[in-house]
Amino acid sequence: MGPETPLYHFGPTAQILLLGALITAAPLLWVLRRVQGRGPAALLHRLTWVTLFLTFDLVLFGAYTRLSDSGLGCPDWPGCYGQATPIGAGAQIQAAQDLMPTGPVTHGKAWVEMLHRYLATGVGGLILVLCAGSWWLRLKGHSQRSVWWPTFTLFWVCIQGAFGALTVTMKLFPAIVTLHLLGGVFLLALLAWQATQTPDAAPVAGAASHRGKGLRTALALAGGLLWMQIALGGWVSTNYAVLVCDTFPQCQGSYWPDMAFAQGFELWRPLGHTSWGELLSFQALTAIHYVHRLMAYGVIAVMLALAWLLRHHQMHRWALGLFALVCLQCLTGLSNVVLGWPMPAAILHTGGAAAMMVWIVLAWQRTRSQPLTPIAA
């Protein structure tokens, strides 16, 4: 990977935090201008939606960082060869690039990796503002909303930062990279949950609430199934197992190709190797890919059934939105297989899964805040 460098070098931390603060300030000032005169509660509500949007963008950019092999563009953390930007580390990056022109460290990859870190710091700053603002409103008696959701979200974004650091220092360890992806999706779910909690919203009660209970159960089950599928998809991507099956619906000319499940799903091992140091077999990569594909059939069936259930409860736009996301996932998933894993399709596939998780959380909250009327048989 080029010249040796310490895995952790905290010298540029203050500069990176300053850059993150500047990124945080831009959307914060925009929200302040948009909600001028509406009070601090309205500001926090709007800022939560903006933070959700920017976190979704961060998840997409994280997917690009992973798919462009830029995760080790700067092999230390939090800076780049002990510098706050790749500009200051130009000599070290050039030396590594000269040694391995197609290796993990190049000028382009270093910038992609550091931009991801800057944006993550900015999102973390916004979540810090949301947490501090929630506590301030509660202590002043201006809001009865729980402060523990934004507090836990702040805690979780710190955990995400730790996973981001370990992704670099543990050299793209598959389990850590997958957990980092899952953590990002969970952060989206946390923000989506809070974005729908307006000060004047209250759960419906009585018969209307009872009618929505079954739908909420279905949404929760679908969310759990989607969570497992995202984990499998992350495992496929981080192990570079997408291209082992380049046809559909068969894989390697068979509906049940030769697979090594135990080796493929050995969770704690370095990238490309078993825990014993042997190279990961082609059969193991096939198992990783094919399990994700088989699981997709079940997820599609469940999501289509959920769309029908939503339509039955007169949530027509929600049903149409879910159907559109299912179609997007099918299209991008097939494109990844038959078109050789094109970058736009791969990023959209990650974004579609994240959007579906956010959609499920928002739909679940919708069933709590408004009465539902099933279509008469």
Q: Which residues are catalytic?
A: 113
Distance of alpha carbon 112 from alpha carbon 115, whole angstroms = 5
> What is the sign, positive or negative, of the torsion defined by CA atoms of 201, 202, 206, 212?
positive
Cβ atoms of 135 and 128 within 8 Å: the answer is no
List all residues 6 or more positions away from 204 whose beta carbon is below 8 Å from its beta carbon.
212, 368, 369, 370, 371
Distance of alpha carbon 323 from alpha carbon 256, whole angstroms = 29
Q: What angle do CA 226, 363, 306 make, to 5 degrees?
A: 55
Q: How many CB atoms neighbour CB 362 within 10 A?
A: 18
3-state secondary structure 127-159: HHHHHHHHHHHHHHCCCCCCCHHHHHHHHHHHH
